[in-house]
Amino acid sequence: MKNSRRRFLQMAGVSALGLGAKPMLNAFAAGGGEGPDYHVATGEDALTAKQWAMVIDTRKLQTAEDLEPIVEACNKIHNIPTAIQNKNHEIKWIWETHYHNAFTDKTNNFLNEEVAHRPFLLLCNHCENPPCVRACPTQATFKRESDGIVLMDFHRCIGCRFCMAACPFGARSFNFRDPRPFIEENSEEFPTRMKGVVEKCNFCAERLAVGKMPACVEASKGAIAFGDLYDEHSEVRELLKENYTIRRKQTLGTEPSVYYIV
Amino acid sequence: MLELAVKGNKWYWGWLIVLLGVIGAGFGLYLMQLKFGLGITGMSRDVSWGFYIANFTYLVGVAAGGVMVVLPYYLHDYKAYGKVTILGEFLAIAAVIMCLLFIMVDLGQPMRALNVILYPTPNSVLFYDAIVLNGYLFLNLVIGWNVLEAERNGVHYQSWLKPLIYLSIPWAVSIHTVTAYLYCGLPGRHFWLTAILAPRFLASAFAAGPALLVLLCLFIRRFTNFDPGKEQIQSLAKTVAYAITINVFFLLCEVFVAFYSQIPGHTTHLNYLFVGLHGHGALVPWMWGSMILMATGIVLTVTPATRKNETSLMIACIVIIMGTWIDKGLGMISGGFVPNPMHEVNEYAPTMPEIGITLGVYAVGALVLTVLYKMAIGVKEEVHG
């Protein structure tokens, strides 16, 4: 009697171990790095691409006033808690900086004065080879296979901030506190976030899904182009063909999808 | 064997009560953090890992350092260490428990921690870190407990333990290697982007872990009826001497590469740490302090006279623990984040609640270590006394 009970417990233990190993084996079988395996329906008007990319014509964005409506459009739609005063806890998806901060490896001592004073927009580069996705231990941040956007699952993120260390562009923000009281004007277009998760620009995936261009593109009055990097007739490819463009920290091999005309 | 841990004098119980008090206070502060968010710490958008991860990294080293008594005993049959291997294994258990707690308190959404197992992601180094740390904890628990029990019963330990013991040796190296890989595989963080990071971590671990063991041995000899042994302490001291020297050598290799090549990405972080950057230099006195402490440690442990004198050896071990903690804890993590990817300087300093939670975690480790050592020493007193 005693022996058979013991035997039963042993078997139960071994079975439990087997069940526990199942998702582990699945992960190895799948090769890892893919997004959460739920089905996402595509809307009729949805805009699609192989790899979304952005070309920012900085010549058309000369002053801080030119950038303001662009940044504001994003902040408003995405419920960015802009009222947070503490710099440490700041959340930003798209923001303004100087040339020498944006292009740390392309700074000359005697830079063209106009460029040196021009404001530059920074945002997530939606890298083709994103180190943040590689680092995430739960696939809460993943590169969407259908269109190359690097997305966040706010409900899966455990807040380990490995992705923030991995991002060479400082594109990610962490909710150090509940962001909701600091949202100045609530938007219905995008969910608010909770404390303890990481967030960043999502190339307006929620707008593309209903046939709209990203908010910053719309607000830029033609200064920012958006399109499929692998469609040679797309607007971005036309611009890349006609203009000399630069990207941030190309040498790191992450293949940023945001291009700048200087 | 647990009954040995509930028989103690008033000092033993007093110490446990003090630790419980610190744990309670730390837990209270943690509840505060859970309610408010990680905003009660000094971390920021730019320095997104701070004191918790720094101490985690340091303690992975302490845990790995235990192998410096296990390896000579089991692989080289260095019999003298038979008396102290259990101390190394139990120190590793306490250290790994602290590591796991530091990871937990650092999570923004700790209740989702099991997502790491639910959605296993083999391309994330954190996935492997979870495996190796938990595995090392398990190995040391099984090995330490069974070997000690066998010693108490006056029999040889079970033969099935042998493969686990051999496995635990490379496993110790793996925990610190994987922990270094968390940092050194990230593009754009040039301070960490060095192939020598894992070796450097191991060198510092094999200095700090055994140094702590020397201090614990000296303490045990003074306050219990069990003597870990003069030879054992001296052998540990030699390990410390080699490891701390190699650690400083590795650091100097980094300095050479950075300043001879003069590539800004490499020099800028070292400049921030040792001379300050754009007027920001909160860590400068700490880093120089660390250098002086480690240099003193080298002189005291390499010189035979000061190594053999147990008072100066004690001082050497204390300065080495402090020096490596500043180097690896304070400097290594903050230094990698400052300046940020846009070359802006935002410094980091831990806040009071953050330090309180950290002390709480250390108190848990001290409590575990005290109880485990009480048992181990109880057995040793029975057998040898």
Domain containing A254: what range? 49-261
Residue B154: left if φ>0, alpha if ψ -120 to 50, beta else—which one? left
Residue whose tokens read 């509930």: B6
CA–CA min distance A69, chain B (Å): 23
Indicate whether A224 belongs to any domain. yes
User: Residue A176 and residue B46: Cβ atoms within 8 Å?
Assistant: no
Residue length of chain A? 262
Mean pLDDT in residue range B3-26:
95
Indicate whether A131 belongs to any domain. yes
Indicate whether A118 belongs to any domain. yes
Instruction: End-to-end CA distance of chain A: give it in Å, rounded.
Output: 82
Token code pair at residue A109: 């001592």
Task: Count how many domains chain A has.
Answer: 1
Asked if the model's pLDDT at residue B59 lies above 80, the reply is: yes
Domain containing B169: what range? 2-384
Q: What is the pLDDT of residue A22?
A: 55
Return the axis-axis angle of helices B310-324 and B197-223, rounded to nearest 10°: 140
Residue length of chain B? 385
Indicate whether A59 belongs to any domain. yes
Please tell me the distance from the alpha carbon of residue B10 to that of residue B320, in angstroms, as a whole number.
32
Q: ipTM score of the complex?
A: 0.93
Residue B106 to residues A131, A197, B32, B52, B112, Cα–Cα distance (Å): 21, 12, 13, 6, 12
User: Residue B342 and residue A170: Cβ atoms within 8 Å?
Assistant: yes
pTM of the model: 0.92
pLDDT over 70 percentage in chain B: 100
Indicate whether A69 belongs to any domain. yes
Token code pair at residue B363: 């108190």
Q: How many A-B residue pairs are in contact by the CB < 8 A criterion?
A: 163
A226 phi and psi, to 5 degrees? Answer: -140, 135
Mean pLDDT in residue range B155-172:
96
Task: Show residues of chain A in contact with B336, CB under 8 Å.
Answer: 165
Token code pair at residue B204: 């510092």
User: Residue A157 and residue B37: Cβ atoms within 8 Å?
Assistant: no
Q: What is the pLDDT of residue A31?
A: 44
- Closest residue by Cα to residue B332 from B210, B221, B176: B176
B97-123 burial, b at 16+ Cβ within 10 Å, e below that, comes to bbbbbbbebbbbbbebbebbbebbbeb
Task: Count how many domains chain B has.
Answer: 1
Bigger pLDDT: B295 vs A12: B295
Residue B373: left if φ>0, alpha if ψ -120 to 50, beta else—which one? alpha
Q: What is the pLDDT of residue A33?
A: 45
Of B45, B116, B342, the CB nearest to A158: B116
Mean pLDDT in residue range B96-118:
97
Asked if the C-beta of B285 comes within 8 angstroms of chain A's C-beta atoms, the answer is no
Which spans in A78-223 are helix H?
A: 99-102, 113-117, 131-135, 162-166, 205-208, 215-219
Q: What is the pLDDT of residue B384?
A: 77
Low-confidence stretches of chain A (pLDDT < 50) are 1, 30-34
Indicate whether A198 belongs to any domain. yes
Please tell me the distance from the alpha carbon of residue A198 to that of residue A163, in angstroms, as a whole number.
8
Indicate whether A192 belongs to any domain. yes
Q: What is the pLDDT of residue A21?
A: 58
Please tell me the distance from the alpha carbon of residue A146 to that of residue A49, in angstroms, as a whole number.
7
pLDDT over 90 percentage in chain B: 95
Query: What is the CB-side half-sphere exposure of residue B28 using CA atoms within 13 A?
Result: 8
Asked if the C-beta of A177 comes within 8 angstroms of chain B's C-beta atoms, the answer is yes
Residue B299 to residues B239, B240, B304, B320, B323, Cα–Cα distance (Å): 14, 12, 10, 11, 13
Please tell me the distance from the alpha carbon of residue A200 to that of residue A173, in angstroms, as a whole number.
6
CATH number at residue B240: 1.20.1630.10
CATH number at residue A237: 3.30.70.20
